[in-house]
Amino acid sequence: MRIPTRAAREMEDHIMPMLRSCPCFAELKRVHARVVVSALSQSCYLATQIISVCSAGGRLEYAALVFDHVEEPNAFLYNEMIRSYAKNSHFLEAVGLYKQMVRQDHVFADGFTYPFVIKACAGLPVLHLGRQVHARVSKSGLGSNSIIQNSLIEMYTKCDDLVDAHCLFDEMAERDVISWNMMITAHARSGQMRKARALFDTMPKRSVVSWTALISGYTSSGCYSDAIKVFHRMQSEGLEPDDISIVSVLPACAHLGALELGKWIHAFCNKRKLLEKTFICNALMEMYAKCGSIDQAHQLFGDMRDRDVISWSTMIGGLATHGRALDAIKLFVEMEEEKGKRVRPNCITFLGLLSACSHAGLVDEGLWYFESMKKVYGLDPDIEHYGCMVHLLSRAGCIRRAVELVDGMPFPPDVSIWGSLLCACRIHGDVETAVKATERLLELEPEDTGNYVMLSNIYAAAGRWDGVAKMRKLVRSRKMKKTPGCSSIEVDNAVHEFIAGDETNPHFVDICRMLDLLASELTRSPRSTAERTSSVDLCQEEEEEEEVFYS
């Protein structure tokens, strides 16, 4: 091993500040040249700093050349190179360098090595490598290091091994908030919300990350009311939401139609200068669009300083959902023609565009845009795009053409595609195609009673009562039950859910009284008696038909 002279150490101390303050890569190369000229290229001290600067600038190839040039790298140099690889997502290189390190006789992995090696194992993710590193950690006596323990927990959770993660968590002598948050996040990400909530309720001290992990988990699991309740509770306990917790709760607002809470979040973001962040505005736009306030979404879109492809796609999709197909197409054209920073449309953009054409029955436009995905932008349509086209063609009465498109798909049709065909067949009275679509639906969703009802109605409209009897017999033999309807409403920032026939609702009596009141008011309506009678008869007929079908 080279022992630096006093003069060499003085030169190292002189060059080090230059390396730390390098403003650009060109200046780093000039200082590195001085290192080489000064015969200090073997200095691990300077090489470590050069690699650190390269890592910050993403110059990993240059950093690797510097490392490879050092004949006897020490532990500090190995650690810095492994860290650089791991932080820049070069996980295979990080693991490979660690393996090289442990084969050396003069260097040993330490508490600074393992967190980044474990991060690389988690990033790959390769569980058996992580376990091997865990074994070496235990043999080295570093098993109680909290930073390493947290890294191991993260590795196990990212490798979907929650059992070992929990074992390690339970064995920890001291758990910090990071340990708790990782376990909550892991269970929430895997949909295990009961375990996530149990951990959350027992942790001694919570951070905004803890609350956000729970909110995000509830939203991802479709428990939107719970997500909003946790968000309100977080505020009541004096914690201010950050940008991540905001984008976690906004989808819950969108799904439940909690517009008032969404507006409050918008005002909060405006006050905290968070609207400068594009992803916040995108989440707010989606919330407004799904809550029916498309004009507010459009206004927010117009006020945005920086729009990415998600911004354009969200606005185009929102306009499409609200039946404003021409506005959606106009916005797409504007996106294509925008000067300066060009944003290329992606598959989500075309999904909104094709949906707009489908809602408006613009067959020619839809076909043109569908073809342009591949020809103009090099995008391969996926099953959702085919679904939009099938919906567009079948609703327009082009059922034969829709069937040809389905038969020519590069992947098996899903439930939504066969469902679109089935609905169109009911409208246009195509019994033959309806039977084909239903057969496929029953293979994919044998327990969905709606498919049986739909085909039964098509048979009835065509006068094929033997088919109606067959469907009813099939439903009875399988003892199927109708899924009750569900609705929700937001009152005073609280979301209330209602399920048809749910007598356990605490407001059930009041609801029935209000329904009776509404019914009595309807009988006093100025509409003609004949018009009222026909409406009542129609509703009654549909209800009776459904009851007979399931009885």
Per residue of the chain (551 residues), give pLDDT as tens. 555 678 888 999 999 999 999 999 999 999 999 999 999 999 999 999 999 999 999 999 999 999 999 999 999 999 999 999 999 999 999 999 999 999 998 899 999 999 999 999 999 999 999 999 999 999 999 999 999 999 999 999 999 999 999 999 999 999 999 999 999 999 999 999 999 999 999 999 999 999 999 999 999 999 999 999 999 999 999 999 999 999 999 999 999 999 999 999 999 999 999 999 999 999 999 999 999 999 999 999 999 999 999 999 999 999 999 999 999 999 999 998 875 557 899 999 999 999 999 989 999 999 999 999 999 999 999 999 999 999 999 989 999 999 999 999 999 999 999 988 988 887 888 888 988 888 888 888 877 777 778 778 878 877 888 888 888 887 777 766 656 666 767 666 666 677 776 777 777 788 888 888 888 877 776 554 444 443 333 334 444 445 555 55
The verdict on 387 and 443 lying in the same domain is: yes
C-alpha dihedral over 18, 21, 25, 27, to 10 degrees?
Answer: -40
The counts of H helices and E strands in the chain are 30, 2
Which structural domain range is residue 454 located in?
A: 382-485
| CATH number of the domain within which 474 lies | 1.25.40.10
Closest CA to 387 of 362, 419, 426: 419
Same domain, 212 and 234: yes
- Both 360 and 394 in one domain: the answer is no
Residues 319 and 409 in one domain: no
**Residue 57 within any structural domain of the chain:** no
330 and 344, same domain (yes or no): yes
Answer for the pair 202, 233: CB distance below 8 angstroms, yes or no.
no
Would 248 be classed as within a structural domain?
A: yes
Please check whether residue 282 lies inside any domain of the structure: yes
375 domain-assigned: no
- Buried b / exposed e across 484-495, counting CB within 10 Å, b at 16+? eeeeeebeeeeb
Are 195 and 289 in the same domain?
yes
Same domain for 401 and 479, yes or no, is yes
Same-domain status, 406 and 464: yes
Q: Give the domain-ending residue among 293, 316, 346.
A: 293
391 & 362 share domain: no
Q: Are residues 218 and 258 in the same domain?
A: yes
Are residue 287 and residue 197 in the same domain, yes or no?
Answer: yes
Residue 116 belongs to some domain of the structure:
no
Strands 494-499 and 486-491: antiparallel
Look at the chain and report how many structural domains it folds into: 4
Alpha-helix runs per DSSP H in 207-272: 208-220, 224-236, 243-256, 259-271
- Look at residue 71 and tell me if it is in a domain: no
Residue 450, domain member (yes or no): yes
Do residues 389 and 480 share a domain? yes
* pTM beyond cutoff 0.85: no
Residue 128 belongs to some domain of the structure:
no
Distance between CA atoms of residues 102 and 473, nearest Å: 71
Show which of 469, 485, 501 is a domain's final residue: 485
